[in-house]
Amino acid sequence: MKFLNNYKCKWSVSFLTALLMFSTNSHAANWLQLQGTEPEGAEQLGKVWGFVQVQYQEDSSDPNGAGAYIPPKLIGPNLDTQSTFNVNRARIGVRGVAMPLDQKINYFVLLEMGNNGITEPEGSFAKATDASVTFNHLKGARFRVGLFKFPGSEEGLQAIHVFDYINFTWVTQQMLLERFANRQYTPNNAPATLPPEYRLNAFTRGVGAFRDVGVQMFDWFDVGNDWELSYALMFGNGNGLNFTDNDDNKDLYTYVSAEKIFGGSGPRRQGLKFFAWAQSGTRTADLSADSCANPALTFPACGAGGSGRISTIHNPQEYDRDRMGIGVKYLRNGIRASAEYMEGEGMIWQAPHNSTFAIGPGQGIPGAPAGNGAFAEGTGYYVEGGWRIPKSKWELDLRYDVYNRLDGNLFEIEFKRTTLGVQYFFNPRVRLAINYEARSGEAINFGPGAGPNGNVDGIDDRIALQVTGIWSQ
């Protein structure tokens, strides 16, 4: 891996110690502050708030030669159509100060009731996405415990209701938004015709939603000349939204940022921010069948004619999972620009229908040289910008993103997308977003129609419209 090999601890303890030496706190907001603390001096016991996002998406991708579709050509989370309306997010929460017991203790609770990757795989009506308590007693070292967003990529860390696009970039959607292996080996699903005769998503658990249960030490510091430094160090279960862990392994998350503050506060504070983050952990997963000769096992790598039955033999193994990224974001006077580069090693997700994390020959067999995401790498980046038209309620957005899945592997697939966006702000709490996505995918080591391109060819453009409404007490 390019620069993952020598940094299991990521950032040095000495660097974190140096940050703790700064003692003057800034009162401007950042994501660590917004999501983990209440304003100093606040006396509100509980503030009820929430938001709703309703969207319509339509995909123009073509099926493979047999008339079947793979997930990138269908609309999630249900993956049964190329056009649909959906209430994709409906969240309600409460946050505040633990008055009158202790003004330095804050809490944050949030519930998801929309139809998305959190609720749909498990058939849940609602699921808790946040349940945390923050202790602000120590200068330079606040502590947050419970279920909350782990420090990481700007796309994942920022509040989704102020996200400037409708869909995540390829690299964030596939490499960072974690899918957790089924508790028992499950064979991959084949591409499906429409309407699907079976559930195309082979995963039975919801996405991680950029969250984990654990403990985080963090703070931010005013270091003069309008510069603010932030840090976060977290240990978590590495098991997403699940309140308990599925093994004894723990994840380490680290985050640092430096921002030149130009003015304002809240989620759209103006500034120039540089940031870097990393996370490292291990996943215990049953991704492989013992033998194709076993009559209890039938999956694609064993040849045609399999019944798709789940293995009765458990073969859990441990797989390393590392992610890291660096980026920059600028926002001032209605002009926004940002870029981020990310790398990942291990547990590279292939698609909702590929529950073995593998594609191609050797599916589900550890050590197989081709297409095994459990041991593979991925790289990706995005560059984007926006312009809020002066004296108007309109904003124009443009984003370009690339993701190389199974980077350097025979079955590497390069995904590219250019997103043209328009936002109209009815008022500060309600807005309409329209995105046109020019998308493509290519297995770069195969010709047109050959190998993975038999299914990847035909990934085409998508249009999405979304209304966001935010309310608070």
pLDDT at site 420? 98
Decide if 5 is inside a domain. no
| CATH label of the domain that carries residue 142 | 2.40.160.10
Decide if 279 is inside a domain. yes
Decide if 395 is inside a domain. yes
Decide if 3 is inside a domain. no
pLDDT at site 369? 56
Q: Which of 204, 210, 255, 266 is nearest to 232 (CA)?
A: 255
Q: Which of 95, 185, 179 is nearest to 131 (CA)?
A: 95
Decide if 215 is inside a domain. yes
Question: What is the C-alpha separation between 160 and 93, in angstroms, rounded?
Answer: 14
Task: State which residues of the chain have pLDDT below 70.
Answer: 1-29, 289-313, 360-370, 473
Number of domains the chain contains: 1
Determine contact, residues 151/10, Cβ cutoff 8 Å: no
pLDDT at site 265? 82
Question: What is the C-alpha separation between 361 and 94, in angstroms, rounded?
Answer: 49
Decide if 156 is inside a domain. yes
- Domain span at residue 446 reads 13-472
Q: Which of 46, 16, 29, 94 is nearest to 270 (CA)?
A: 29
Distance from chain centroid for Cα 49: 23
pLDDT at site 354? 93
Distance from chain centroid for Cα 460: 22
Decide if 183 is inside a domain. yes
For strands 141-149 and 211-224, give the pairing: antiparallel
**456: Cβ contacts below 8 Å, ≥ 6 apart:** 70, 72, 413, 441, 442, 443
pLDDT at site 361? 56
Q: How far is CA 123 from CA 185, 348, 456, in A?
A: 20, 25, 29
Q: How would you label 316-349 residue by residue, b for 16+ Cβ within 10 Å and e otherwise? A: beebbbbbbbbbebbbeeeebbbbbebbbbbbbb
Decide if 143 is inside a domain. yes
Please, how many CA atoms are within 13 Å of residue 244, restricted to the half-sphere of its CB?
Answer: 2
